[in-house]
Amino acid sequence: MKLPANITALIRNRKFLCSLAAVAVLLLLWRLFAVFTFVPVSEKEVPLVRAVTVGEEAGAAVNSYPGEIRGRRESVLSFQTKGRITARSVNVGDKVHAGQVLFTLDPQDASALTAAADAAVASAAAARKVAADNVRRYAALLEAGAVSQAVYDSYSLQLDTADARLEEARALAAASHNQLAYTRLQSDMDGEIASIGAEIGQVVASGTPIVTVVGSETLEAQFYLPEKDLQGVAAGAPCSVELWALPGSPLQGTVKEIAAAADSVTRTYRARASLKEVPQEVKVGMTCKVSLPEPGLPSRQTYLLPLGALYQVNGKKAVWLIEEGKARLREVECEGYRGDKIAVTAGLKAGDTVITAGVEKLSEGQAVRPARPPKAGE
């Protein structure tokens, strides 16, 4: 019996709806199964380690001291007379030569005194000429018997007195000319103006520091040694001087002198090192770092590492390095302790990254990352 068309369509629609419902139920069941049975897999965390770079954070076994560049000769110039400054011809940093006039005082008073002294010399010279002429005339009269010896001796005494007064006048005139010359402050050597302590219009007394000239023939590095390092440093010891203005270009030098007494304020000992092959860019007053090998360590390359970096394996000393993001064990040779650091004399090179904490928890080839921005090559 053939069913009506509308009933057939209804049956088909019901089958389709049932199929959709079944699919929806299966998807819901699958989702519930996945939620309740899925175990999340956590990503393995790479441990963070503390590390230093050999040659940067872990420096060589040297002691470094702050210092500054100074000239071997330094002259603090001052006037030898008092007066008011009327001219200044130099500025800080200017190059000067020996004999160059740097400052000038008002010369009016000195010029007046010089003129008076010159006049006194002329007067004394004229008086001496008259006395000399009298002596010549009375000498002739004495020979002719026209005058007595006593008269001649009196005129001779007048000549001697005139000679003495002339010498006195000339000496006073020379002193007056010196005072006039002292109104011009001149450099006593070739060099560079390091500092200026007076200005135009200022009235200064004799001996007041006016300008400092640093000799340009030789430069030195001046630094200060603490008491604990004094015994290990002597004159003639080699040193390295690195300027903050010229990084990466250390200068070689030699310790020239060490003060015998400590500074009364800092309780450190002033030392100076002569420099070799100083570039033209180096200027007086530049700050620098003076490095001296630590006494008692071998001459070969030695690095100081924190004590936490040392690791014992099979009775041998070793350190953990970071190479390509993994921990690698490397044997090293040590030369005792220096305070809170260990002196490593072999097994390391500049640029190696050494782990300094938590070394007892590491394993060979373990992935690690340093607790700082990575350096080049890590």
Q: Has residue 378 got a pLDDT over 50? A: no
- Alpha-carbon dihedral of residues 111, 117, 121, 126, nearest 10 degrees? 90
pLDDT of res. 88: 94
Q: One-letter amino acid identity for 81? A: T
Give pLDDT, residue 119: 95
Summarize the confidence of residues 227-234 as an average pLDDT: 80
Q: Residues near 77 by Cβ (< 8 Å), separated by ≥ 6?
A: 102, 185, 187, 188, 209, 210, 211, 212, 213
The C-alpha atoms of residue 320 and residue 251 are separated, in whole angstroms, by 34
Average pLDDT rounded to a whole number, residues 331-337 = 73
- State the pLDDT confidence band at 95, using cuts at 50, 70 and 90: confident
200-209 mean pLDDT: 92
The DSSP output letter for 137 is H
C-alpha 268/C-alpha 66 separation (Å) is: 12
Percent share of the chain, pLDDT over 90 = 30
Q: How big is the chain by its Cα radius of gyration, in Å?
A: 47
Higher-confidence residue: 361 or 65? 65
Question: How many angstroms separate the CA atoms of 171 and 356, rounded?
Answer: 80
- Within 10 A of 112 (CB to CB), how many other CB atoms are there? 12
pLDDT surpassing 60 at residue 250? yes
Tell me the domains of the chain and their CATH numbers. Answer: 51-61+300-370 (2.40.420.20), 62-71+216-293 (2.40.30.170), 76-107+183-213 (2.40.50.100), 108-181 (1.10.287)
Phi and psi for 226 in degrees, rounded to 5?
Answer: -75, 165
Q: What's the pLDDT score for residue 374?
A: 47
pLDDT in tens, 282-311: 888 889 988 887 655 554 567 777 777 777
pLDDT tier at 377, thresholds 50, 70, 90: very low
Answer whether residue 313 shows pLDDT above 90: no
The total number of residues written for the chain in this structure: 378
- Beta-ladder partners of 279: none
Which of 192-206, 246-260, 280-294, 296-310: highest mean pLDDT? 192-206
Phi-psi region of 49 (alpha: psi -120 to 50; beta: other; left: phi over 0): beta
pLDDT in tens, 20-68: 777 777 777 777 776 666 555 555 666 666 777 776 544 555 677 899 9
What distance in Å separates the CA atoms of residue 183 and residue 112, rounded to the nearest whole number?
A: 13
Are 187 and 99 within 8 A, CB to CB?
Answer: yes
Tell me which of 94-98, 204-208, 338-342 is least confident.
338-342
155: left (phi over 0), alpha (psi -120 to 50) or beta: alpha
The whole-number pLDDT of residue 11 equals 59
Higher per-residue confidence, 340 vs 80: 80
Beta bridge mates, 215: 191
65 neighbors 71 (Cβ within 8 angstroms): no
279 alpha carbon, distance to own chain's centre: 15
Q: Measure the CA dihedral 304/310/314/320, to 10°.
A: -100
Quickly state the pLDDT bin for 201 (edges 50, 70, 90).
Answer: very high
| Token representation of residue 304 | 């100081």
What pLDDT score does 366 carry? 75
Q: Measured between alpha carbons, how far is 50 from 354 in angstroms, rounded to an integer?
A: 9
Helix/strand/coil (H/E/C) assignment for every residue in 241-291: EEECCCCCCCEEEEEEEECCCCCCCCCCEEEEEEECCCCCCCCCCCEEEEE
Per-residue model confidence (pLDDT) at position 1: 47
Helix residue ranges, H only, the chain: 5-37, 108-144, 149-181, 227-230
Kindly list the strands in the beta sheet with 191-196, ordered across the sheet, starting from the edge strand earlier in the chain. 74-78, 209-215, 191-196, 95-96
Q: What confidence tens digit (pLDDT) does each residue in 128-141 have?
A: 999 999 999 999 88
- Are the C-beta atoms of residues 175 and 181 closer than 8 Å to each other? no
pLDDT band for 376, please (50, 70, 90 cuts). very low
Q: Which of 99-108, 202-211, 364-373 has the lowest mean pLDDT?
A: 364-373
Q: Please indicate whether residue 80 or residue 16 has the higher confidence score (pLDDT).
A: 80
